Amino acid sequence: MSQKRRFSQSIRFKLLLVALALLAIPWAGYRYLQETERFLRQTQETMLLGTAQAVAAILHNSSAMSRSSRLPSGGSAEPLQYVNQLEQPIQPDGYSEEWQPYLGNLQRYPEPDKWLFEGILGEYGDYLYLLLRVQDHQVRYRPPGNTRLDQGDYVELRLTARTGEPVRYRIAPTGPGYVTVRRMPNDSEAPLPIGREDRIRGGWQTSESGYTLELKIPQYLVGEQIAITVADLHDGSGSSTYHRVNSTGPGQPPPLGRIVRPDPEIGRLIGGLEHENARIWVINNQRLVLAKRGRLQPPESITDDSDSLRISPLQPLLRLVLDQPSTNFQDDLSRSARLTGPEIDAALAGQPQSRRRSTPDQRAVILSAAWPIQSSSGVTGAVLVEQTTNQILTLQNRALEQISGITLVLFLFIGLAILGFASLLTSRIHRLSRRVDKAVTADGRILGTLEPDRSADEIGDLSRSFSGVLNRLAEYNRYLEAMASRLAHEFRTPLTIVSSSLENLQGNNVPEDQQRYIRRAQEGVERLGLILHRMREATRLEQQLLQTELVAFDLGGLLDMALEGYRGAFPEVAFELERCPEPIVIQGAPDLISQALDKLISNAVDFHQTGTPIRLILERVDQQQVLLSVCNSGPALPPGMEQELFSSMVSIRKKSSDEPHLGLGLYLVRLISEFHGGHAEAVTLETPAGVAFRLFFPVAQPSR
């Protein structure tokens, strides 16, 4: 009989495991894409370094670079004052909100970690703008009406005019608000002004940490040099002292710093080397930006490219596991006036270098490559080329999406094909198993032939092999089943001859000592005759079953009548009957049922324990089946013999007896029960110890 198996033990599951090998395809594709990404990154790095080298070659010995990076004859670095390029004009009211995009470029003086003020220069159109944020715990304003400009905190500008003439301006307000800029004498440090400069406008406002000053200066008033001085007035012990800090370094008067601004000539030179979504910087040897071209982020009008419109069912899943390219990231260097970084340090030291960095919001990765700009006097600056890795990510994700989609379709198609093929195989195997189960009973008897499968595959070969085996077993079983009738027929004549010969010998004058041997021979002949009689009885029963008609009768009434006969036949044995009071009607042959019952009672009498009753129990199993049990106390059945007992020529009797036992009685019981549509079984009882033989019969259905 076939057993129920778990899905993990089936052919379907094993073939699905084989189908899982298809997962190696996306894994191999992913590994290939990783190698491709590494190659593309190296290619991008090489391309950026090549672009930086080309720009550096164009600017080699450039006069513009020399002007922005030249050293004075003394050899010390000339102080530089960088001017940022503003995107809109600034209202000089003393508030720094309009400078917000450029506050990252504020320079602190005298030192970044210990400073008195921070400032930034910017230009838009025809005006130069200045923002100063000063730390001062106590802001001291000049007394109103006092013409001396050394009676409070002040800010002083020293610059050269377009003609090269030095000019000095001082702002010493009497309170917050719009300020008046006054021109100071150049030939002395006297605190008295020589006039007003109304063309320069400004605003002074106090803050939590000090004050803020904004100035708007016409470009025609400014030459190439400028210096800023912040003076903080300190009062103590009846005397006043100033603490002065210059933007160009210590000294009184302070040295002038050269104004450095992005150079249009350098911008024109590098304009033709721009790349899409790439940015080129040119800086001098003090890291100040001289030119910038390109952008890392595309314009807002074209940020949503065609890829974002592509709809794929895999996109939500891929977005969870893949880094998505983003054009909306934080570009922290977009308005920088001074660039820093290890690649910048290496380039200014004469060594090209590249670097990969993440944006502050971690939404993009930027690859930068720096190349030194050489001149006859040494390194005058560096070229920095930047580009995001978004294009590589886009290509990688698009390829992975295609591979995943194709793999998913292939996996589903091949998986369904394998599952369908496995279902076909298992269904054919199940059909073959069911046909074999129907052809062979649980006790090994062949009920019929197995029609062979006509297919030419292995399952067809297996079906034909099973069919051949069952046919040969059926022929062998028929031979064994017919052997009893053949033996009875073949032995009958020799036994008759032997019996008549012994009778003739006994009639002659045979000595008494030989008479004993003749009697023993006659007893053996009689036993052989009894054996042949029982073998003929089994054969007649098999033939009788083919001709017997079934009738409906009450099985309980049959047991009542049979029990009286058994009590008379076996007076030394007690019999007990347990049955339900209502009639139990079955469809069968009463004579055959009585014959089977006789065999079971005879067997129970032989094996029962003396002094214990033999019980007959008739009960309903359910609405479709009844159970007749013959129980006796005595020795248990040998293990594994429960079904073998009902086979032909099987006996477990151990004691010798005058009456032969061929093991045909229970075989006949099985034939009779199966003829009635039921079956027979033997079980060992534990309390009390003994054996029960059970006959199951179907209940007769009422006629409609």
pLDDT band at 302 (very low <50, low <70, confident <90, very high): very low
Q: Does residue 595 share a domain with residue 526?
A: no
User: Which pLDDT belongs to residue 536?
Assistant: 72
The parent domain of residue 601 ranges over 548-698
Contacts of 388 (CB under 8 A, 6+ apart): 277, 296, 325, 329, 364, 365, 366, 367
Per-residue pLDDT at 305 exceeds 50? no
The CA radius of gyration of the chain, in Å to the nearest whole number, is: 58
User: Which pLDDT belongs to residue 303?
Assistant: 46
User: Which pLDDT belongs to residue 546?
Assistant: 66
- Between 393 and 201, name the one with better pLDDT: 201
pLDDT band at 663 (very low <50, low <70, confident <90, very high): low
Q: Are 416 and 408 in contact (CB under 8 A)?
A: no
Q: Does residue 672 share a domain with residue 653?
A: yes
Token digits for 429? 């195997």
**For residue 233, is it within any domain?**
yes
Q: Does residue 653 share a domain with residue 523?
A: no
Per-residue pLDDT at 255 exceeds 70? yes
Gap between the Cα atoms of 626 and 203, Å rounded? 114
User: Which pLDDT belongs to residue 304?
Assistant: 47
pLDDT tens, position by position, 363-380? 888 899 999 999 888 899
Gap between the Cα atoms of 61 and 376, Å rounded? 7
Q: How many independent structural domains does the chain possess?
A: 4
**For residue 320, is it within any domain?**
no
**For residue 462, is it within any domain?**
no
Q: Does residue 272 share a domain with residue 237?
A: no
CATH number, domain at 483? 1.10.287
Token digits for 665? 């009685």
CATH number, domain at 60? 3.30.450.20
**For residue 316, is it within any domain?**
no
**For residue 440, is it within any domain?**
no
**For residue 330, is it within any domain?**
no
Gap between the Cα atoms of 431 and 390, Å rounded? 59
pLDDT band at 124 (very low <50, low <70, confident <90, very high): very high
Residue in this structure with the two tokens 């150079």, named with its chain if needed: 263
Q: Does residue 287 share a domain with residue 165?
A: no
Token digits for 596? 């089977």
Provide the 3-class DSSP secondary structure of residue 123. strand
Q: How many other C-beta atoms can be found within 10 angstroms of the C-beta atom of residue 446?
A: 19
pLDDT band at 77 (very low <50, low <70, confident <90, very high): low
Last residue of a domain, one of 382, 406, 434: 434
pLDDT band at 416 (very low <50, low <70, confident <90, very high): confident
Gap between the Cα atoms of 364 and 389, Å rounded? 7
Gap between the Cα atoms of 281 and 150, Å rounded? 44
Q: Does residue 240 share a domain with residue 272?
A: no
- For residue 94, which of 217, 213, 230 has the smallest C-alpha distance? 213
Token digits for 19? 């189908």
The pLDDT mean for the chain works out to 83
CATH number, domain at 569? 3.30.565.10
Q: Does residue 92 share a domain with residue 190?
A: yes
Mean per-residue pLDDT for 211-232? 95
Spacing of C-alpha 284 from chain mean position: 52
pLDDT band at 74 (very low <50, low <70, confident <90, very high): very low
Q: Are 407 and 29 in contact (CB under 8 A)?
A: yes
Q: Are 402 and 311 in contact (CB under 8 A)?
A: no
In order of 133, 559, 570, 615, the CA distances from 574 in angstroms are: 124, 15, 8, 9
- Between 64 and 129, name the one with better pLDDT: 129
Gap between the Cα atoms of 485 and 538, Å rounded? 8
**For residue 314, is it within any domain?**
no
Q: Are 667 and 538 in contact (CB under 8 A)?
A: yes
pLDDT over 90, % of the chain: 31
Token digits for 203? 């605003």
Q: Does residue 683 share a domain with residue 577?
A: yes
User: Which pLDDT belongs to residue 391?
Assistant: 79
Last residue of a domain, one of 520, 540, 560: 540
pLDDT tens, position by position, 344-356? 999 999 999 999 9
pLDDT tens, position by position, 473-507? 888 877 776 776 777 777 778 878 887 887 777 76
Residue 618: what are its φ and ψ, rounded to 5°? -120, 120
pLDDT tens, position by position, 675-691? 888 988 999 888 778 99
Per-residue pLDDT at 325 exceeds 80? no
Per-residue pLDDT at 73 exceeds 60? no
pLDDT band at 75 (very low <50, low <70, confident <90, very high): very low
Q: Does residue 480 share a domain with residue 418?
A: no
Q: Does residue 131 share a domain with residue 157?
A: yes
Q: Does residue 522 share a domain with residue 375?
A: no
User: Poorest-confidence range of 35-44, 145-154, 206-215?
Assistant: 35-44
Q: How many other C-beta atoms can be found within 10 angstroms of the C-beta atom of residue 349?
A: 11
| Most confident of the ranges 133-137, 358-362, 463-467 | 133-137
User: Which pLDDT belongs to residue 650?
Assistant: 57
Phi-psi region of 511 (alpha: psi -120 to 50; beta: other; left: phi over 0): beta
- Between 343 and 38, name the one with better pLDDT: 343
CATH number, domain at 234? 2.60.40.1190
Contacts of 428 (CB under 8 A, 6+ apart): 453, 459
Per-residue pLDDT at 640 exceeds 90? no
Q: Does residue 92 share a domain with residue 69?
A: no
- Between 184 and 647, name the one with better pLDDT: 184
**For residue 610, is it within any domain?**
yes
Beta bridge partners of residue 259, listed in sequence order: 81
Per-residue pLDDT at 564 exceeds 50? yes
Q: Which helix (H) or strand (E) holds 568?
A: helix 555-569
In order of 142, 173, 233, the CA distances from 240 in angstroms are: 13, 18, 7
Last residue of a domain, one of 499, 519, 540: 540
Mean per-residue pLDDT for 129-141? 94
Residue 217 CB burial class (10 angstroms; 0-12, 13-18, ≥19): buried
User: Which pLDDT belongs to residue 318?
Assistant: 58
Q: Are 251 and 170 in contact (CB under 8 A)?
A: no
